[in-house]
Amino acid sequence: MTDEVHIHVHGPVGHISLNRPKAIHSLTLPMCEAMTQALLAWRDDDAIQAVIVDHAEGRGFCAGGDVTLLRRSALEDGGASAAHFFDVEYKLNTLMFTYPKPIVAFMDGITMGGGVGISQPARYRVATENTRFAMPETGIGLICDVGGGWYLSRLPGQTGKFLGLTGARLDGAECRAVGLASHYLPAETLAEAKARIIADPAAIAQILADLSIEPPAARILANRDAIDTLFAPATYEAILAALQADGGDWAAKELATLATKSPYACKLVLRQLELGGAAQTFADNMAIEYRASGRAVLLPDFAEGVRALLVDKTNDPQWQPATPEDVSTAMVDAVFAPLPANQEWKPL
């Protein structure tokens, strides 16, 4: 076990509380391993009726995975450590997705990347006024992994494409409006919600319904028509052309945002959503993402994106290739190609 995640049992409820506040609870390999061990033990324990997942302190639920570890792996061990991390993390994501007992994830604060991976599989996903949800991977040359191919492709209209390409941040009201959150509670009521769930885990749905409030107007709904029209094209070049042709302020803002993203990663995400949308099971989707993420971290854009945004913080990534036109279909195909049979990802 690790002190980076607190694992407790409160009567009939298992409690996983992320405890890495200085890194906004970004997931490390030991954290994923500890969570998996706890969930497996509780799954087979008749005394445990439900599981709560939250964070111990600080301004976010979980800001993602440990991308500095992934970058080091890409630069130093040919991606072996990264592949192991993805294997363990994706097994955790899939365990949560298929878990037979209700999981309640409290997405209070920053919920991005790996944080999405451990909240979206939960039966109950609670957003608050503090929630800031995003899948920002195209900004560091990566796909929207941890199940993004499954979740984003199943959002209304072109919402998933919009979120996956731009990395747009949604607040709690927006998460509730598009279905990424099942409930919207004021942050001040979360302690009461958890206490009531621990007292009566059979009544989770009613407890969350009783404490829910009507969220503020969801900003994303005002742009729904533009999103569904301008992000409808099948190719990245056509989406950029549609935004360019629109001429409006919103389209111009999104076009400027996309100009900062890795063209290669954007094309990978479009393929990811296509394949994830067609996947028959969540595990099938995760096998697809494992192939792509393990290869994507070895592409120049990942190390460069992490350097520019998170290490040096110069915000000046030099993408390779620099333009969408230079990213061929064959280059995308290669990232998603099957692995040798003995290297393919499998759930627990």
Looking at the DSSP bridge assignments, the partners of residue 286 are none
**Is the bond preceding 186 in cis, omega lying within 30 degrees of 0?**
no
| Whole-angstrom distance, CA of residue 217 vs CA of residue 25 | 29
Would you state the structure tokens that stand for residue 332, as one six-digit string? 């995308």
Let me know: does 39 contact 95? Beta carbons within 8 Å.
yes
Annotated domain spans of the chain:
5-343
- Closest C-alpha to 174, from 214, 217, 143: 217
Let me know: does 138 contact 164? Beta carbons within 8 Å.
yes
CATH class of 5-343: alpha beta
Q: Known catalytic residue: 65?
A: yes
Residue 57 pLDDT: 84
Q: Known catalytic residue: 333?
A: no
Out of 79, 113, 114, 276, pick the active-site residue: 114
Out of 4, 145, 174, 289, pick the active-site residue: 145
Q: Known catalytic residue: 14?
A: no
pLDDT classification of 1: cutoffs 50, 70, 90? low
Kindly give the pairing relationship between strand 60-62 and strand 5-10. Answer: unpaired
Out of 89, 108, 137, 171, pick the active-site residue: 137
Mean pLDDT of 318-339: 98
Out of 64, 65, 148, 294, pick the active-site residue: 65
Residue 230 CA to chain centroid, in angstroms? Answer: 23
- Closest C-alpha to 87, from 340, 336, 294: 294
User: Does position 26 have pLDDT exceeding 70, yes or no?
Assistant: yes
The backbone torsions φ and ψ at residue 125, rounded to the nearest 5 degrees and listed phi first, read -125, 105
Q: Known catalytic residue: 247?
A: no
Q: Quick one: what percent of the chain has pLDDT higher than 90?
A: 97
SS3 label, residue 39: helix
Question: pTM for the whole thing?
Answer: 0.97
- Closest C-alpha to 272, from 252, 297, 250, 290: 290
